[in-house]
Structure 1
Amino acid sequence: MHGQTMSGWLLVALCAGTGAYGLLRLRGGRGEHREGAAGEALMGFGMAVMAVPAAVLAPPAWGWMLYAAVFGAAALRGLWLARTGAAHAHHLVGSLAMVYMAWVMAPGGAGSGHAGHAAGYAAGGIPLLTGALLLYYAVYVVCSGARLIPVAAGPGGGALAPGARQELAPACQVSMGMGMIAMLLTL
């Protein structure tokens, strides 16, 4: 999660913008729409904080515990809500992925290069788990991106009218999925 400084800041901006849009949706939403917007806002801002380049601001030694606690709580909530729909299951996977990345960042964890090697793991975490998360997010991004393609309006076809309000949530979901891929690739 500590790649090149410029790409790190671009990822921070993308994730923070997505989190801000989640907050805007949270204000106007109700029920499940509101819960989804809250989850996306949390993921967006959490990813933005985690993506800050270490060359600019090194995370404190205890920072990984804060990430793990916040996203662990979000995972528990996602587990409770996952019984009602697939969108909550996706938030559960995202929260667990954030806990995993926090664990990899931990001093003495798999990402430190000391205790992680002693435990038999590579410096970037558990390769099979990282690969599974990369595959999940790649499929998620492709499927979510396909939903962004406009479809014909009716029997005669036609595109959406200019100025017609389109929801940005699917585009934000694609960008957050791509952000997760970028963060996982740097493990």
Structure 2
Amino acid sequence: MPGPVSAAWLLVALCAATGAYCLLRMRSGVEEQRRAAGGEALMGFGMAVMAVPATVLAPPRWAWPVYAAVFAAAALRALWALWAARAGGHHLHHLIGTAAMVYMALVMAASPAGHHHAHTGAGVPLVTGALLLYFTAYVLLSGARLVPAAVATGGAGGTGGTAGPGASGWGDRPELARACRLSMGIGMVAMLLTM
């Protein structure tokens, strides 16, 4: 990722921490939460790897197509889950997120060695602009939804407000899952701004 090295390392830390927490969420007793957490862990770690400053680690040219293939497979899985659930919500967001990762990997693969910009300064590419609008709106809406969730669970008897039957503690807290998604949304906006 181009840009200030300190900002890139902060993004790496944020995405890696989010991915690690999502791995912990995979221990949930609720199957749907485990599936969502697995996809989010992949996104978090994938974003952390992509955000490593290019001055520190410049991946070989073949890494970007492999990276795109991994996230294309994740996008197909999200598309299948979206079709099977016949509802939008989180499945649709995960599909858009994985498609954005494929797009960024393809842009990186197509860029000249040592450069991470897909355009020549003639403005923001259409796909990048559309993804920026989507993730900016997502971050704003997620942040607004997170505030009431934190207030509502604060009075839940001190147990932290679990997610219903079969929930097993802090790993199943919905406000923490929302905070993870918000963190990844912020990371996605930051990464798209460098495209």
Percent of residue pairs bearing the same amino acid type? 62
Which residue of the partner structure matches residue 39 of structure 1?
Answer: 39
Q: Indicate how the Cα distance of structure 1 residues 102 and 148 shifts in structure 2: closer, same or farther if over 3 A, else same.
A: same
TM-score, L = length of structure 1: 0.84
Q: Please tell me whether residue 131 in structure 1 is matched to residue 129 in structure 2.
A: yes
Q: 1:93 aligns with which of 84, 92, 96?
A: 96
- What are the superposed Cα offsets for residues 102-122 of structure 1, whole Å, 9 maximum, x if unpaired? 00101xx1x328xxxxxxx72
Are 2:108 and 1:105 aligned?
yes
**Which 4+ runs in 1 deviate beyond 3 A?**
123-126, 161-164
| Alignment-derived partner of residue 160 in structure 1 | 155
Q: Work out the number of aligned pairs and report it.
A: 174
C-alpha separation in 1, matches of 2:24 and 2:43: 14
- Cα displacement string for residues 80-128 of structure 1 (whole angstroms, at most 9, x for unaligned residues): 111213211111100000000000101xx1x328xxxxxxx72489711
Deviation of the 1:133 alpha carbon: 0.1
Q: Per chain length, whose mean CA-contact separation is higher, i.e. which structure has more relative contact order (CA < 8 Å, sep 6+)?
A: 2
| TM-score, normalised by the number of residues in structure 2 | 0.81
1:35 Cα deviation (Å)?
1.1
Deviation of residue 61 (structure 1)?
1.2
Unaligned regions of 5+ residues in structure 2, if any? 162-172
Unpaired runs of 5+ residues, structure 1, are: 114-120
Letter in 2 for 1:56: V
| 1:90 maps to amino acid | H
RMSD: 2.4
Give the Å deviation of 1:2: 1.8
